[in-house]
Amino acid sequence: MGDNIQYLTLNNGIKIPILGFGTYQIPPEETKQAVLDAIDVGYRLIDTSQFYNNEAEVGEAIRESGVGREELFITTKVWISNYDYEKCLDSINESMEKLGLDYIDLILIHQPLSDYYSAYRALEDLYDAGFIKAIGVSNFYPDRLTDICSFKRRVIPQINQVEVNPFNAQYLAQANMEKNGVQMQAHSPFCQGKRDIFKNETLIKIGNKNGGKTASQVILRWLVERSVIALSKTTNKDRMAENIDIFDFALDEEDMLEIMNLDESKTSFFNYQNPETVERFYELL
């Protein structure tokens, strides 16, 4: 299963699993069991956020899993309402209490909105103090990422977590991240199940050619071939096992080109360059 999960090295030397388990939209009452199942099938990277309202349950699962702290890689994200230097520090203190951890492996600025620079300065200080092993951003388009890489105080983000799936492949964004030394991490690799992605004919054909792999396995393998860290979510343990069973096959150039042809370079969720997106997040606060 996930025994042979691979690792990448971030720009500060920290190792990170190339596959991770996401907890967005898992209700708090289901989160502990889901994370326990994910750890049991072999996931070592768990992704949560202050926004997901399930950090405490992720923490319970970490403690009950019996897996050593140093073997796990835990990510959380700072929400927009905490984008003030002091508020950001306080909110991370609260996240650490909820998670029951004395350090967090990775903390991201969740959205490229409002005063995210103040929050990033707080991340830099906590990073310097050793409370966070790696820091980064999320949903930063190339212009915003280049901006923060240029105007940072000290630390270049280690990660930029963005939507990446066959319909929004983000090849140019990845090139920009690589130029800046930032690792791309994919959220919503299955497009949250939209657009009948699990029945996509191209993905199914490629899966059949590769020994009967499923569309979800083809997508995750495609990301691994591109050296992109992939987070996926399911509350179904069989699917967790399916989604981590991707280290026994490889896609060839023809497969990669066919998947490239599915790219529409268009988000299925939010376009951060769209004023309505900004208004929508503002209304959420």
Mapping DSSP onto H, E and C, the string for 262-273 reads CCCCCCCCCCCC
**Closer by beta carbon to ligand NAP, 35 or else 101:** 35
Q: Per the structure block, which two tokens stand in for 66?
A: 């019996």
Task: Decide: is 190 part of the binding site for ligand NAP (CB under 6 A).
Answer: yes
| One of 166, 233, 245, 258 touching ligand NAP (CB under 6 A) | 233
* Selection from 172, 164, 174, 177 nearest residue 269 by Cα: 164
Q: How far is Cα 162 from Cα 90, in angstroms, rounded to an integer?
A: 26
Which residue in the list 7, 24, 43, 52 is annotated as catalytic?
52
Rounded CA gap, 135 and 149, in Å? 12
- DSSP string spanning 159-179? EEEEE-BTTB--HHHHHHHHH
Q: Answer yes or no: 52 catalytic.
A: yes
- Binding to ligand NAP by CB under 6 A, coded x per residue (else -) over 26-65, reads ---------------------x------------------
**Short-list 212, 162, 220, CA closest to 190:** 220
Beta bridge partners of 17: 7
| 22 binds ligand NAP, rule: CB under 6 A | yes
The answer to the question of residue 98 lying near ligand NAP (CB under 6 A) is no
- Taking Cα atoms as reference points, which of 74, 9, 20, 73 lies closest to residue 43? 20
Q: At closest approach, how far in Å is the CB of 87 from ligand NAP?
A: 20
Distance CA 108, CA 144 (A): 14
Burial 125-153 (b: 16+ CB within 10 A, else e): bbbeeebbbbbbbbbbbbebbbebbeeee
Stretch that binds ligand NAP, among 17-25, 64-72, 114-122, 250-258 (CB under 6 A): 17-25
Comparison of 7 and 281: residue with beta carbon closer to ligand NAP: 281
Residue of 95, 210, 216, 267 that binds ligand NAP (CB under 6 A) = 216
Q: Which is nearer to ligand NAP, 143 or 238 (CB)?
A: 238
Question: Which of 195, 239, 249, 268 touches ligand NAP by CB under 6 A?
Answer: 239
Options 23-31, 37-45, 62-70, 172-180: segment touching ligand NAP (CB under 6 A): 23-31
Which residues of this chain interact with ligand NAP, rule CB under 6 A? 22-25, 47, 110, 138-139, 161, 187-193, 198, 216, 231-236, 239, 242-243
Residues assigned a catalytic role: 52
